[in-house]
Amino acid sequence: MKPIQKNISDFISENKVANICFVDKDGRPYCISCFYVFDELAQALVFKSSYGTTHDAFVKSGASVAGTVIPEAINVLTLKGIQFNGTLLDNSEIEKLKLSTLYIKSFPMSLAMPGYHWAVKLSFLKYTDNSVGFGNKTLWNEG
């Protein structure tokens, strides 16, 4: 596995909210915003969701997703953000990698919410960092 560059992994680790886009069986996009935890070793973003949500129908092992991560405060001149692509991991992989435990350690209050954990195995990242020059991009892919 090719390691994710430090500037990208640092940014993902410092933030906590992602926007994820799924595609339904008819090809229509559906986006959500959610808290996440980043596991650098597994190169995965881990989430928790409730059963019965609209996106619950789209959370299927191997499904392709795309998303973004941006900080809470935005200044155009120093904007930083991630665009990503990946595939959803199956439950056995999530358990093997102990990704649920990682999420609970970061968000212990999530234990009060019934639901399940899911994770995106990252395959492509584009990191924009305007603080080092407007439009500065760093790319990463798993290959």
| pLDDT, average across residues 58-87 | 92
2 pLDDT exceeds 90?
A: yes
143 pLDDT exceeds 80?
A: no
How many residues in total does the chain contain?
143
d(CA 58, CA 65): 10
Where does the pLDDT of residue 71 fall: very low under 50, low under 70, confident under 90, or very high at 90 and above?
very high
Which CATH number is associated with domain 6-141?
Answer: 2.30.110.10
d(CA 103, CA 82): 20
| pLDDT at residue 101, rounded to an integer | 96
pTM: 0.91
Identify any residues that bridge with 117 across adjacent strands, giving them in sequence order. Answer: 48
Tell whether the torsion through CA atoms of 57, 93, 110 and 40 is positive or negative. negative
| pLDDT at residue 76, rounded to an integer | 81
The domain ranges of the chain are 6-141
Long-range contacts of 54-58, Cβ-Cβ distance < 8 Å, separation of 24 or more: 54/30, 55/20, 55/22, 55/30, 57/24, 58/22, 58/23, 58/24, 58/30
